[in-house]
Amino acid sequence: APRRKVAAAGERGPSSTLLSPASSEDEAPEELSFGVAKEAAETERKLVGEAARRHRELLKEKRRQRQELFAEQKVRPSPFESRRPRRAGSPPPPLTALSPAEAEAAPRGRAAGAGRRATAEVRGGGSKGNYTAVRLKDQSLTGLHQHLAKDFLNTQLYGPAANRVQANNFFSLENKKNPVTKAAVQFVDKSWGEYKKSK
Amino acid sequence: QVIPGHESRSVEALCWGAGGRLFGAGLSGEITEYDLGQLRASCSLDGGGGPIWSMAANSSGTQLAIGCEDGSVKLFQVVPGGIQFERNLDRRKGRVLCLSWHPSDTHIAAGSIDAFRVLDVCSGQTLQRIMVSYQVQKVKRECVVWSIAFLSCGTVVTSDSFGRVQFWDWERGTLVESHTVSTSAVLSLAVSEKEDSIVVGTSTGATYQFQLLPVKMGSLEKRWVRTKPFQHHTHDVRAVAHSSTALISGGLDAQLVIRPLMEKIQKKSYDAALRKFTFPHRRLVSCARKAHLLLFQFSQHLELWRLGSTDETGKDGEVLPLRRMPEHLLQLKSKGPEHIYCSCVSPCGGWVAYSTASRFHLYRLQYEGDGISIKKVPKAPKLLSPAYQLQFSSDSSSLFVASARGSVHVLQLLEPGGCRHLHTLRPPSGCSEAVYLLAPSADGHWLAAVSGDWVIHIYNLKCFKHHCTVPTYDCAVSALAIHPDTNNLVIAYSDQQLFEFSIPEKQYTAWSRTVQNCGLHKGWLERDSPITHITFNPKNPSHILLHDTYMFCVLDKSLPLPDDSALLLNQSTLKQLPESARQRQLHAFKICKKFQPLLFADLLDGNCLVVVERPIMDIKIQLPLPVQRKKFGT
């Protein structure tokens, strides 16, 4: 029995120094529960995975749009151009606010440019055949862009390197250091509670 | 003044254009102009480069440059009625997260990932591209340049995700100075107009000031030195501004902090104090006094609660047990992406109204036993502009709608569930701003309305005519209310002054003149937050109940006013004194700071005061995670 006790005491030493960072030797060792660390790692992995997935989706979507556009262009004869002066991908007609000029479309390629621009819905019809031009904005390409942007922000600010901590940990410290000490945040009674007459 | 939000409109950048025009841009990829008279978005234009991360105006406010997700920098012209695309500048790979014009408007510095560029505005060419990476063995992360500033002397200042603030000579492509202020990212920076001081905000909630100081006493050579650290926030500081006298920071902890720079302040006064703003200075809770209901306004839904009740009585300081618990009666979700701008419940509890930036909604509520049923009023009048404030009359027969250009619509509520437009009240000499506060009298005779130009108009509701205007005061009105018996209008201004104006007599009351002559107590005038609600005690006509974010006060007009030598917060002292001594020390201001932060306080019929607290911790727990902060002894 005494041997076991000594062994146990010895174990505690080295493991605590491993947990705390080298620079803060004066501080008590950090206690990090396995569950919390596991959760944090999983969330990070998920975030990065999601961002990569969305990026792939966006590229796929772009490729699909380009293919569709080329297919359309093949099918439609050029007389349509006089009737419908704009094709999906070129700048929209001036609306109440004026829009970016045609120079926009050239460097980036039609499909990609088209995704970000709103084209007016125009109905070609009558003898030349029926078709409708649709606003590519409604095809949620803009939504994909926005998702990518938000994912970037999330990964940068809340990703693996960000050193974030749960609100419980963060504010429980404050509660303990306040002039009027309070319980750790997660234990604060949130229910309507028992109303008792105080003495 | 508040411009309501919108689900899809994230605002990543704001800037002022020529003529005091306000523009915003965000991840939706659009540049939006805001109409400051009507307090809403007036027009939007797609930037054409995907999500917009940054936007900056040139020195004259005639051009806007935006930094986009696709790595492009685009120029737009500010023209009458909107903005117009001008041209693209050189596009490189990597999202442009921050932008800054050189004060001469000849060059633009654009920060991206692992690098920043300097572009020539005329030719659009990238003149210099400088790598801003972090060369440490183990670290393989990219270095994000979160903010950038271009000084007149040609120095470019950057802040990055490795917690560094760096000063560059862009023409030579060299790093002049580097300061590591934090282990977390430095997200924002702002330069003073004189370019001798910089404020930066970090992810840990800390802000730092840098000052350009001579190397030695009297030396001409100057260096940037990190002078003052501040820890006003618990969460990321993504926006900072530098005024001529103060450092301003806005954090993800929903706090706006104004920190005056002591060397710029001449004397110890109101201006020298640190100011923190967390809660809006407008009404988010309305109360149906007769029905004992509370309506809470959130950005996309409303909650209706019935207050609990008790039959017990007790002594000062006791908490009485409830016989009936508070009940969450109804949650009303707003349709569409626009945020709710204002809301109100009628005193009888039978009507609820709310408005977004484009639409106004009215509902009829029926109570059957313990249950409640709600029905939308089908043909509510379509208003041309949004409602900026809603107020029911005390007998719940009319609804007053504050509108644009100083006008107030009076809607008549009809049984069993309809409404019609009765009249529109307008100020006699016109007004360009919207009405933001309304106060009807209890007898239904008068209505006071305050518009954005700070003028208080009083209308006679019996004949729908303008009655008079309260003498102008050079401050915004933060709250006003009409006394049920005397029809005196009590006004609280944002500089903490109080006035009482007799509506029938069209002049300030004697008590009001006394208050002005004696002056209000220093402790009252130096309070941090404005009075947001005024109400009266049905049982005692000389009482006025007012509250701000940190206190509520029963103002007893029959008691003497305290002078500066008296203790303002004397309630606890008074309690300990014997009855005879108390009489000598009583003064008019009975202040209680037990409940804070306060969103609302009102007197119900009977002996009840309802007080709504919104603990800051409840909000902070729901925010995105803060950065770990090491503290000794923990």
Q: How far apart are CA B104 and CA B124, in angstroms?
A: 15
The boundaries of the domain holding residue A64 are 34-77
Nearest to B319 among A24, A116, A198 (CB): A198
Hey, CA dihedral for A55, A59, A62, A64, is it positive or negative? negative
Is B301 within 8 Å of A178 (Cβ atoms)? no
SS3 B256: strand
Tell how far CA A196 is from the center of its chain: 47
What is the rounded CA–CA span in Å between residue B62 and residue A58? 35
B85 to A158: CB separation less than 8 angstroms, yes or no: no
Mean pLDDT, residues A30-47 taken together:
79
The predicted pLDDT at position B584 comes to 81
B598 membership: H or E segment, kind and range: strand B598-603
Amino acid A6: pLDDT: 42
* Chain B residues closer than 8 Å to A24 by CB: 630
Give the pLDDT band (50/70/90) at residue A76. low
Give CA–CA dist A66/A68, Å, rounded. 5
Residue A91 pLDDT? 44
Q: Of the candidates A97, A142, A152, which has its C-beta nearest B82's C-beta?
A: A97
Confidence of residue A82 (pLDDT cuts 50, 70, 90): very low
Token code pair at residue B414: 């009809």
Q: Cα angle at B353 between B349 and B355, to 5 degrees?
A: 160
Residue A92 belongs to some domain of the structure: no
Determine the residue type at B214. Answer: P
Q: Which amino acid is residue B572, in one-letter code? A: S
Greater pLDDT, A46 or B66: B66
Q: Whose CA is closest to B602, among B321, B257, B307?
A: B307
How confident is the model at residue B335, as a pLDDT?
85
CB contact under 8 A, A170 and B46: no
Concatenate the DSSP letters of all residues of B27-62 into one string: TTSEEEEEETTTTEEEEEEE-SSSSEEEEEE-TTSS
Nearest residue, CB atoms, A167 vs list B48, B69, B620:
B620
Identify which has the larger pLDDT, B140 or A149: A149
A47, with CB counted inside 10 A (0-12, 13-18, 19+), is: middle
d(CA A100, CA A92): 8
A155 belongs to a structural domain:
yes
CB contact under 8 A, B320 and A171: no
Predicted confidence at residue A29, as pLDDT, reads 65
What letter does residue A166 receive in the DSSP assignment?
-
Q: Quick check: helix, strand or coil at residue A146?
A: helix
What's CA B595's distance to the chain center, in Å? 21
Average pLDDT of chain B is 92
Given a cut of 60, is residue A77 above it in pLDDT? no
Which one of A12-21, A33-42, B327-336 scores highest in mean pLDDT? B327-336
pLDDT, position B273: 80
Task: Indicate the pLDDT class of residue A177, thresholds 50, 70 and 90.
Answer: low
> Lowest-pLDDT range, A57-66, B129-138, B477-486, B564-573?
B129-138
User: Which value, in Å, is the radius of gyration of the alpha carbons in chain A?
Assistant: 30
In a domain, A64, yes or no: yes
- Assigned token pair, B237: 């500081």
Highest mean pLDDT: which range of A120-124, B161-165, B576-580 = B161-165
SS3 category, B14: strand
Judged by CB atoms closer than 8 Å, whether chains meet at A146 and B51 is answered as yes
Q: How many CB pairs under 8 A join A and B?
A: 132
* Spacing of C-alpha B207 from chain mean position: 21
What DSSP designation does B339 have?
Answer: P
DSSP secondary structure string, B361-425?
EEEEEEEETTEEEEEE-TTPPPPSS--SEEEE-TTSSEEEEE-STT-EEEEEEETTTEEEEEEEE
For the four alpha carbons of B288, B293, B294 and B299, in that order, the dihedral sign comes to negative
Whether A183 shows a pLDDT value over 80: the answer reads no
What letter represents residue B108's amino acid? I
Residue A12 confidence (pLDDT) = 43
| pLDDT of B621 over the 90 cut | no
Number of domains in chain A: 2
Sheet holding B164-169, edge to edge: B145-150, B155-160, B164-169, B174-180
Reply yes or no on whether the pLDDT at B200 is more than 80.
Answer: yes
**C-alpha to C-alpha distance for B560 and B7, rounded to whole angstroms:** 51
The rounded distance, in Å, linking the Cα atoms of A109 and B369 is 66
Q: Cβ contact (<8 Å) for A198 and B634? A: no
Residue A170 belongs to some domain of the structure:
yes
CB nearest A150 (choices: B27, B47, B631): B27
Given B46, B84, B632, which is nearest A117 (Cβ)? B46
Domains of chain B: 1-180 (2.130.10.10), 194-279 (no CATH), 282-308+326-425 (2.130.10.10)
Partners of residue A170 in chain B, C-beta under 8 Å = 234, 625-626, 628-629
Contact with chain B for residue A59, Cβ under 8 A: no
Phi/psi of residue B420, nearest 5 degrees: -140, 150
CA A120 from chain centre, in angstroms, equals 30
pLDDT band with cut points at 50, 70 and 90 for residue B255: very high
Give the Cα-Cα-Cα angle B280, B285, B287 (nearest 5 degrees): 155
How does pLDDT run across B182-192, given as a tens digit for each residue? 999 999 999 99
CA atoms in the 13 A half-sphere facing the CB of A53: 6
User: Which chain B residues touch A177 with a CB distance below 8 Å?
Assistant: 631
> Which of B343, B338, B339 is closest to B294 using CA atoms?
B343
Lowest mean pLDDT among B243-257, B325-339, B603-617: B603-617
In B, minimum Cα distance to A189 occurs at B618
B55 by Cβ neighbours in 10 Å (0-12 / 13-18 / 19+) ranks as buried
Percent of chain B with pLDDT strictly greater than 70: 97
Q: Is residue A194 scored above 50 in pLDDT?
A: no
Kindly report the pTM of this predicted structure: 0.77
pLDDT band for position B98 (cuts 50, 70, 90): very high
B628 contacts in A (CB within 8 Å)? 163-165, 169-170
Measured between beta carbons, the chain B residues lying within 8 angstroms of A20 are none
Asked whether residue A151 is domain-assigned, the answer is yes
Answer whether B284's CB lies under 8 Å from B341's CB. Answer: no
Decide if B2 contacts B398 (C-beta within 8 A): no
Biggest alpha carbon distance in chain A? 100
pLDDT in tens, A86-119: 444 444 433 333 334 333 333 343 434 343 444 4
Give the one of B44, B74, B161 whose C-beta lies nearest to A156's C-beta. B161
- The DSSP string of B474-498 is SS-EEEEEE-TTT-EEEEEETTS-E
Whether A61 contacts chain B with CB within 8 A: no
**pLDDT score at A139:** 54
Whether the CA torsion B563, B566, B571, B574 is positive or negative: it is negative
Q: CB B115: neighbour CB atoms within 10 A?
A: 18
CA distance B629 to chain A (A): 8
Angstroms from B272 CA to nearest CA on chain A? 26
Interchain pair B27, A26: CB under 8 A:
no
State how far residue A97 is from chain B, nearest Cα, in angstroms: 6
For residue A73, being part of any structural domain is answered with yes
Q: How far apart are CA B191 and CA B165, in angstroms?
A: 13
Record: contact B51-A149, CB cut-off 8 A: yes
Q: With bands split at pLDDT 50, 70 and 90, how would you rate the model's confidence at A196?
A: very low
| Strand ranges (E), B161-280 | 164-169, 174-180, 186-191, 197-202, 206-214, 222-231, 237-242, 246-251, 256-260, 275-277
CB-closest option in A101, A118, A152 to B46: A118
What is the distance between the alpha carbons of residues B295 and B327, in angstroms, rounded to a whole number?
Answer: 12
B47-51, B257-261, B489-493 — most confident range: B489-493
B112 contacts on A by Cβ (under 8 Å): none
CB contact under 8 A, B624 and A157: yes
Closest CA to B66 of A102, A100, A109: A100
Query: Residue B247, exposed/middle/buried by CB under 10 A (0-12, 13-18, 19+)?
Result: buried
Residue A197 forms contact with B (CB below 8 Å): yes
To which residue do tokens 């504010």 refer?
A: A171
Between residues B314 and A195, which one has the greater pLDDT? B314
Q: Residues A159, A44: contact at Cβ < 8 Å?
A: yes
A98 contacts B85? CB cut-off 8 A: yes
Express each pLDDT in B427-465 by its tens digit.
999 898 999 999 999 999 999 999 999 999 999 999 999
- Asked if A96 is an interface residue toward chain B (Cβ–Cβ < 8 A), one would say yes
Find where tokens 């999983």 sit. A42
Residue of A nearest to B633 (CA): A27
User: Which comes out higher in pLDDT, residue A24 or B37?
Assistant: B37
Q: A63: distance to nearest CA of chain B, Å? A: 17
Tell whether A198 lies on the interface with B, counting CB pairs under 8 A. yes
Residue A185 has a pLDDT of: 56
pLDDT (0 to 100) of residue B153: 95
Residue identified by tokens 């800037």 is B15
Contacts 24+ apart (CB under 8 A), B485-491: B485/B541, B486/B541, B487/B441, B487/B443, B487/B445, B487/B446, B489/B439, B489/B448, B489/B456, B489/B458, B490/B534, B490/B544, B491/B456
Indicate the length of chain A as a whole number. 199
Q: List all residues 6 or more positions away from B381 whose beta carbon is below 8 Å from its beta carbon.
A: B360, B409, B411, B419, B420, B421
Reported ipTM: the value is 0.83
Instruction: Let me know: does B434 contact B37? Beta carbons within 8 Å.
Output: yes
On the CB side of B166, CA atoms within 13 Å amount to 28
* Residue A2 counted as domain residue: no
Q: Which tokens is B247 given?
A: 């450092």
Q: Which of A12-26, B190-204, B534-548 is least confident?
A: A12-26
The reply to whether A140 touches chain B by the CB within 8 Å rule is no
| Cα separation, A107 vs A99, whole angstroms | 17
- For chain A, the average pLDDT equals 61
CB contacts, 8 Å: A187 with chain B: none
Q: Would you say B205 and B182 are in contact if contact means Cβ atoms under 8 Å apart?
A: no
Compute CA distances B39 → B78, B88, B355, whole Å. 19, 31, 13
Q: What is the mean pLDDT of residues B105-121?
A: 96
- Quick check: is A43 in a domain? yes
DSSP class of residue A139? G
